[in-house]
DNA sequence: AACAATTTTGCATTTTTTTGCAGATATTTG
DNA sequence: CAAATATCTGCAAAAAAATGCAAAATTGTT
């Protein structure tokens, strides 16, 4: 039996039962315990299930619950999150602001990473509560109902004495001539502040946001340290962005 | 049975019954008392339930969320909220902190009231997002997973320049000799600060919390402006609290 | 087909996690 | 206050995970 075939069966079983034990799988698929264990590890790396002690549980169970509108796991998110997680190291201070991509990445952070995460997104804060080793700093300020984040001068003031290692900036549009831009003025100011206090800035963008235009400019493309998309770094859609001092992942 | 599966079942049972005992859980799930006890501790650390002596009760935010549509709502909440809403007037600045009671009251606020609500409870903030006329100020700080609120010196600092009209203080215990007290030190300091910057303070207590004792004192009973319970103001359980300059509703 | 390179698999060993138990401590209740 | 319950702590057995390694299977290339 092929490995892919086996993994497919694991996912199918998981779809109906919502949970599986490794011992059961081994007997069912007639391979050693170690093989199914490795299968499950691979599937977890792809973000397709959640591995637990003794087995695995369906992903839809645990994550993606009260989040905004994303029901099914968009494969674009999975690819992006995988790249994003490589930038995380123990004991770093990370800023993450609003947006679905950041929310998904946050949920995928391994449980053993020790981090401090600073955010103006209450949903992110409550979702991260399930990560025992992550310290969460929630930024105060006016709560902007539409985007469900805090903004305003108070939020900026809360950032005043923080020095972060990495900033995950959510963004609505990215283009070479207009740089990174979003739809809301006050939020664009906040993002600039977050950039200022972070050693490095990374943005994770969905394909649809490339070469779009929005109203309020946050920064130039070259101000970034990393750009993460679901595409291969060599994809021609990214041609214009290459060799500008921004590492494309 | 997987540990996660067990914990999932505990949460499900908690969702319907609102409370469980550890002995019951042990029998139901066919594991030792100690195992379920440890499960409950883990779930509490994630902020998913509240552990009490002998068992666990549904955590406010989980149990409260479905309160919207259909109501297996504690009638005590209804009575309390009705009284509490009478204290609200247009264009007032209100502080509300954590706790189930405050969450329920917030949900019941009429849509036509124009208010500013200051809170350190992200769940309250997001729930209030559906009230078009309410301006929400979310207090920043360290996010305390267990109670799902922000606390710490940053939170206190955020309050520095605010003058509120009324403070809805969530409290764990109220007694004549010990006054109002809660279980968490840092939070007790925060509550004192909130009191200081508010013209009036009101607390809404469930019957079970009267004459209980907790570790950290917040203030004396006579420091309150109003006391709200589900009982009639003339109820004899409240005898000792009468005629002390605190209006009992 | 044959061969080398790579991947996959199973197994043995070590390390970690989970679990139940027993005694000590703490809390509740009559 | 005392009996009954419940919790906490440390511990050891059992189960599972991680690791390293060699055999087996697969793949790619002549």
List CB contacts of A159: < 8 A, sequence separation 6 or more.
A118, A139, A193, A194, A197
**At residue B196, what are phi and psi to the nearest 5 degrees?**
-60, -35
pLDDT (0 to 100) of residue A111: 66
Residues of B with a Cβ under 8 Å from any A Cβ are 2-5, 8, 45-47, 122-123, 125-126, 128-129, 135-143, 145, 148, 150, 154-155, 158
Q: Per mean pLDDT, which range of A177-181, A196-200, A223-227, B60-64 is the poorest? A: B60-64
**Per-residue pLDDT tens for B87-112?**
999 999 999 998 888 998 999 999 99
**Per-residue pLDDT tens for A105-164?**
888 787 667 889 999 999 999 888 767 678 899 999 999 999 999 999 999 999 999 999
pLDDT higher than 60, residue B73: no
Residue A99, min C-alpha distance to chain B (Å): 15
Interchain contact, B129 vs A136, CB within 8 Å: no
pLDDT higher than 70, residue B70: no
pLDDT (0 to 100) of residue B60: 57
Q: For the full predicted model, state whether its pTM sits above 0.85.
A: no
Chain D nucleotides reached by a protein CB under 7 Å = 5-10, 15-20
Nearest to B118 by CA among B223, B229, B197: B197
pLDDT higher than 70, residue A221: yes
Q: Tokens standing for B101?
A: 């009671």
Q: Strand D: which of residues 29-68 in chain A lie with Cβ below 7 A?
A: 33-34, 37, 41, 51, 53-55
For residue B65, name the pLDDT band (cuts at 50, 70, 90). very low
Decide if A152 contacts A186 (C-beta within 8 A): yes
- Rounded distance between C-alpha atoms, residue B233 and residue A230, angstroms: 63
List CB contacts of A39: < 8 A, sequence separation 6 or more.
A3, A6, A7, A10, A25
pLDDT higher than 80, residue A20: yes
pLDDT (0 to 100) of residue A195: 97
pLDDT (0 to 100) of residue B11: 87
**Per-residue pLDDT tens for A136-151?**
999 999 999 999 999 9
Closest nt by CA–C1' to B55: D6
Average pLDDT over residues A7-15: 89
Average pLDDT over residues A55-82: 60
Axis-axis angle for helices A3-17, A22-29 (nearest 10): 130
pLDDT (0 to 100) of residue A69: 35
Decide if B18 contacts B58 (C-beta within 8 A): yes
Q: Is the CB of A37 under 7 A from strand C?
A: no
Q: What residues pair up with B137 in beta bridges, in sequence order?
A: A142, B118
Decide if A51 contacts A110 (C-beta within 8 A): no
pLDDT (0 to 100) of residue A94: 96
DSSP class of residue B115? Answer: E
Length in residues, chain B: 249
Decide if B175 contacts B212 (C-beta within 8 A): yes
Q: What residues pair up with A5 in beta bridges, in sequence order?
A: none
pLDDT (0 to 100) of residue A65: 39
Q: What's the order of all strands across the beta sheet hosting A173-175?
A: A173-175, A179-182, A216-219
Gap from A163 CA to C10 C1', Å: 49
Closest CB to A141: pick one of B123, B138, B145.
Answer: B138
Gap from B3 CA to D2 C1', Å: 38
Mean pLDDT of chain A: 87
For residue B144, name the pLDDT band (cuts at 50, 70, 90). confident
Decide if B182 contacts B172 (C-beta within 8 A): yes
Average pLDDT over residues A178-191: 95
10 Å Cβ neighbour count for B3?
16
Q: Which residues of A touch B2 (CB under 8 A)?
A: 19, 21, 52-55, 57
**Per-residue pLDDT tens for B7-41?**
989 988 887 888 899 999 999 999 999 999 999 99
Gap from A10 CA to C9 C1', Å: 18
Q: Per mean pLDDT, which range of A66-70, A186-190, A240-244 is the poorest? A: A66-70
pLDDT (0 to 100) of residue A39: 92
Q: Is the CB of A15 under 7 A from strand D?
A: no
pLDDT (0 to 100) of residue A74: 59
């Amino acid at each position: 039996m092929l490995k892919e075939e086996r993994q497919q069966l694991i996912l199918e079983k998981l779809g109906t039962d919502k949970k599986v034990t490794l011992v059961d799988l081994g007997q069912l698929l007639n391979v050693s315990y170690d093989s199914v264990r490795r299968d499950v590890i691979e599937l977890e790396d792809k973000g397709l299930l959640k591995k637990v002690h003794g087995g695995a549980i369906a992903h839809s169970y645990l994550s993606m619950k009260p989040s905004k509108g994303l029901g099914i796991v968009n494969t674009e998110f999975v690819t992006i999150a995988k790249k994003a997680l490589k930038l995380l190291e123990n004991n770093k201070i990370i800023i993450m602001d609003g947006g679905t991509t950041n929310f998904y990445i946050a949920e995928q952070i391994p449980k053993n990473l020790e981090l401090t995460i600073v955010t103006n997104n209450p949903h992110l804060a409550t979702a991260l509560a399930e990560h025992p080793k992550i310290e969460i700093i929630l930024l105060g300020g006016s709560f902007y109902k539409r985007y469900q984040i805090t903004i305003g001068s108070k939020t900026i003031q809360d950032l005043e004495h923080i020095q972060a290692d990495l900033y995950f900036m959510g963004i609505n549009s990215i283009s070479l001539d207009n740089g990174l831009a979003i739809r809301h003025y006050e939020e664009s100011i906040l993002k600039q502040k977050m950039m200022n206090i972070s050693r490095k800035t990374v943005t994770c963008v969905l394909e649809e946001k490339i070469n779009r235009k929005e109203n309020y400019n946050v920064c130039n493309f070259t101000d970034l340290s990393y750009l993460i998309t679901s595409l291969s770094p060599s994809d021609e859609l990214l041609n214009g962005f290459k060799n500008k001092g921004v590492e494309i992942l």
